[in-house]
Amino acid sequence: MQNLYFSYYLDRISKYAGYLAAVLVVVLSLLVAYDAGMRYLFSEGSIALQEIEWHLFDVVFLLGLSYALKHDKHVRVDIFFERYSHDSKAMVQILAMLLLVIPFSLLFLNDAFDMTWQSYLQHEVSPDPGGLTDRWVIKAMLVFSFVLLILQALSEILKAYHQLENKKRLYRTLFVVAVFGILVYVGWYNRVAFWFEPVFLMFGMALTLLLVGFQVAFVFAGVALFFALISDEVGLHVLEMLPYRTYGIMGNVTLMAIPLFIFMGLILEKSKMAEKLLLSMGKLFGQVRGGLAISVVLVGAILAASTGIVGASVVMMSLIALPLMLKHNYSSSLASGSIAASGTLGQLIPPSIVLIVLGDQMHLSVGDLFKAAVVPGLLLIVLYIVYILIFSYFKKEVAPAIVSEEAYGEVVKEALKAIIPPLLLIGAVLGSIFAGIASPTESAAIGVLGAFALAAYNRAFSFELVRYASIETVKLTAMIFMILIGATAFSLVFNELGGGDMALQFFAEDMGEKWTFIFIAMLVIFLLGFFIDFIEIAFVVVPILVPIVASFGIDPVWFAILIAMNLQASFLTPPFGFALFYLKGAAGDKVSTGSIYRGVVPFILLQVLALGIILLFPELIYLFGKS
């Protein structure tokens, strides 16, 4: 029990760090909105204020690393993990902390401390006039955050060990791991050559650990450390650059839009906006065959353009729309398929987090990507609606019309009252980006204020709403940026092993054909989407493809849109599509897994059709302007 007391106090440290980060999310949103307003309305700006903003952004995700670990929010591939016994899950957690989190964090700490100490000795200040002094302070946050991460990892070990019923099994596993480690050391000491190309071994080991159920971010980080240790041509010195790379991520203003858009989306999620939209749109289109499914598609599009959070959209519509559709004798397949497909529109329709990440990784303007994604998003919406209309026309029993005694004029009025406020918010956020008036980060902050206003309009604004949204923002943001740190470590070692050169040679020289490269790249991303989330694909796979895209002279914006559409399709693909897990989890026994699978297949085919149209007619993505 003494161990649990120690774990309790370690957990409290992470809890208060998370609460502080949550407060800073609100402060960051207000500061960015204030800064944007002062600059655009009164032509007054401050370099110091802008640097304070990105420092707050850094503190939010760095303090959130340990808090997200405490709440098990560091995403894992749970295809098999969710079926494990209680003991097996506890063992995976112990092994993850002992073999991945703590070793990587100790290495990172050592190099981050050196970077911070050097900054302190040099009295490093901002290179911009009017910027902040004492640059070492924000660098020291890297050290502090990874100390917190190690402490939380120790707490997780103590909690998992206490929960174990069969501790002998753990000891046997640790013995096997130790023997494996000794054999690897002996092989390295005697300079035994790799039996396979180390690049392939690296990917194979990462994929295996991911499928076993280890947290994604720590798998990439731990595998990078392992191969840096055992490869003479790499060595640990290659990871000395990781804190500097991470510091570069910390100063990336584009990435600051991620927590702000997440915060905006979570506020809207809890403000009952989706519920009002679904009920109003259901009445508006219910008298048409398939009308409820059409309303789900349209509401999914509005949620995508206002929240951008796929999991939230699917779960909300599963809880609200699915019982309504089943009550009115809709086919369970059509109901679940339309909900899953509509909920994933947030992967593509701006302000998509996917597009922000792709813009950063491919060195593209996020505004350009947002513009380019509008037509593909509208194309998918039209294809979904046309399919529902045709399918329900020929099979009348799958989506019957709903007879309502309510006056249609009142229904229209009620629907307009529900639709206009979120459309105004979407217009303000996306319109300011498309017009070049504001950056995505500034527009996201304005969107947060708009979300506050919408919550107040729906009489849902409260301290609890802000508390929930800010805390969940910290968890999600920390998860994303820990994956980015792990993926950066993975990429450093991967490129040092020659992986980038191998990929470039294979596609550009051995293949030598642009369309073959595009086909294989899309196929690989599609297949990887079965197993891992879009964040890992964007941070690990996309950087490998960027130089190849350049070597073939492919339009990078068009290629990024193809990736986004492809990732959206992979969210729906049975049996591992994440949207299917969200839907089944929220729906429970209301629909069977087989019905869900049957329902999504037509929508997957429609997504492939849309991808083919954009492949054949790339000029469509520039209908809303080209920079």
Look at 98-102, 318-322, 476-480, 481-485 and tell me which has the smallest mean pLDDT: 318-322
Residues 252-306 have pLDDT tens digits of 887 888 888 888 878 877 777 767 777 777 777 777 888 888 888 888 888 777 7
pLDDT at position 204? 86
pLDDT at position 548? 86
pLDDT at position 348? 86
Look at 44-58, 341-355, 573-587 and tell me which has the smallest mean pLDDT: 573-587
| pLDDT mean over 312-338 | 80
| pLDDT mean over 120-135 | 87
DSSP letter assigned to residue 190: T
Residues 202-248 have pLDDT tens digits of 888 888 898 888 888 899 899 999 988 888 777 788 888 899 988 98
Residues 6+ apart with CB under 8 A from 90: 160, 161, 163, 164
Separation of CA 294 from chain center? 27
| pLDDT mean over 548-565 | 90
pLDDT at position 582? 67
| pLDDT mean over 530-541 | 72
**Could you tell me the sign of the dihedral formed by the alpha carbons of 382, 385, 390, 391, in that order?**
positive
pLDDT above 70 for 311: no
Helix residue ranges, H only, 74-215: 86-95, 102-121, 136-163, 167-189, 198-212
What region does 101 belong to: left with phi over 0, alpha with psi -120 to 50, or beta? alpha
CA distance 369 to 235: 38
pLDDT at position 479? 85
Q: Which of 20, 27, 78, 79 is nearest to 49 (CA)?
A: 27
pLDDT above 90 for 384: yes
pLDDT at position 206? 87
Tokens representing residue 406 in the block? 């309510």
Residue with the bigger pLDDT between 371 and 435: it is 371
DSSP letter assigned to residue 592: -
pLDDT at position 68? 92
Q: Which of 450, 449, 430, 427 is nearest to 440 (CA)?
A: 430
3-state secondary structure at position 76: strand
The ranges assigned to domains in the chain are 2-251, 255-461+497-621
Residues 66-78 have pLDDT tens digits of 999 999 888 776 6
Angle at 345 between CA 342 and CA 351, to 5 degrees: 140
Residues 174-205 have pLDDT tens digits of 999 899 888 888 877 777 766 777 888 888 88
pLDDT above 90 for 115: yes
pLDDT at position 355? 87
pLDDT above 60 for 627: no
- The residue behind tokens 């951008």 is 308
DSSP letter assigned to residue 74: S
Q: Which of 576, 479, 541, 529 is nearest to 215 (CA)?
A: 479
Residues 457-496 have pLDDT tens digits of 888 889 999 999 999 889 988 988 888 898 888 888 887 8
| pLDDT mean over 326-334 | 85
DSSP 320-367: HHHHHHHHTT--HHHHHHHHHHHHGGGGTSSS-HHHHHHHHHTT--HH
96, 210 Cβ separation under 8 angstroms: no
3-state secondary structure at position 215: strand
3-state secondary structure at position 617: coil
Residues 13-26 have pLDDT tens digits of 999 999 999 999 99
Q: Which of 375, 311, 326 is nearest to 599 (CA)?
A: 326
pLDDT at position 260? 87
Q: Which of 374, 358, 376 is nearest to 366 (CA)?
A: 358
Amino acid code (one letter) for 445:
A
CA distance 243 to 108: 7
* Residue 533: band (very low, low, confident or very high) from pLDDT cuts 50, 70, 90: low
- H helix or E strand, kind and range, residue 416: helix 408-434
pLDDT above 80 for 586: no
199, 499 Cβ separation under 8 angstroms: yes
CA distance 152 to 69: 7
148, 101 Cβ separation under 8 angstroms: no
148, 66 Cβ separation under 8 angstroms: yes
Angle at 377 between CA 411 and CA 25, to 5 degrees: 85
CB neighbourhood size of 103 (10 A): 17
Query: The whole model's pTM is what?
Result: 0.80
Tokens representing residue 184 in the block? 């690897």
CA distance 530 to 523: 11
| pLDDT mean over 80-86 | 83
